[in-house]
Amino acid sequence: MAGRICLIKSVLNSLPLYYMSVFTMPKGITKAISSINRRFLWKGTLNSHGICKVAWNKVIKSKSLGGLGLGSIHNKNLALMFKWLWNLDKRVVGGWQDLILRKHRPYFVNGLPVFAGSLSPTWRGLVSAISLNHSISAPLQSNVGFKVGDGRNIRFWSDSWLGHAAPLQFMFPRLYNLSLQQSLSIAEVHNQSDNSINLSWRRPLRSRELCMRESLIAEVERGLVFSDGEDRKIWKSHSSNVYTVSSGCHLLDGLIVSSNLHSPALLWKGFAPPKIDVFIWLLLNGSVCTKYFLAKRRIINYEDALCPFCCKEIETIHHLFHLRPTSWSLWGRLVRWFGCVGCLPKDPNHNLQEWSGLLKGNFQRQAITLLCKGLYWSIWIARNNMIFDSKTPDWDVIFDLTFHRLAFWLKSSVKNFSYTGSDLYRNPECIMNWTN
> What distances in angstroms separate CA 228 from CA 150, 156, 282, one per listed residue?
7, 18, 52
The b/e string for 251-266 (b: 16+ C-beta within 10 A; e otherwise) is bbbeebeeeeebebeb
d(CA 365, CA 363): 6
Angle at 375 between CA 372 and CA 376, to 5 degrees: 90
Query: What is the pLDDT, as a whole number, of residue 388?
Result: 92
Question: DSSP for 251-277?
Answer: HHHTTS-----S-GGGTTSSSS-HHHH
The SS3 assignment for 13 reads coil
Q: What global pTM score does this model have?
A: 0.83
pLDDT along the chain (436 residues), means of 10: 88 88 90 91 80 88 86 91 88 78 86 86 88 84 87 87 82 91 88 83 91 89 81 87 90 73 69 91 92 91 90 92 90 88 76 83 88 94 93 92 93 88 89 80
Contact 77, 25 (CB under 8 A): yes
Give the model's pLDDT for residue 428. Answer: 87
- Distance, in Å, from the CA atom of 61 to the CA atom of 68, rounded to the nearest integer, reads 6
Give CA–CA dist 386/380, Å, rounded: 10
- State the pLDDT at residue 431: 86
> Taking the CA atoms of the chain, what radius of gyration do you get in angstroms?
29
Whole-number pLDDT of residue 265: 61
Q: Among 194, 181, 177, which residue's Cα sits nearest to residue 155? A: 181
Percent over 70 (pLDDT), the chain? 96
Please report the pLDDT score of residue 195 as a whole number.
Answer: 80
Burial class (CB in 10 A: 0-12, 13-18, 19+), 68: buried
Contact between residue 265 and residue 364 where contact means Cβ atoms under 8 Å apart: no
CA distance 299 to 305: 10
Identify the pLDDT of residue 374: 93
- pLDDT of res. 294: 92
Q: Contact, 151 vs 190, CB < 8 A? A: yes
Model pLDDT, residue 84: 92
**Separation between Cα atoms, residue 327 and residue 180, nearest integer Å:** 74
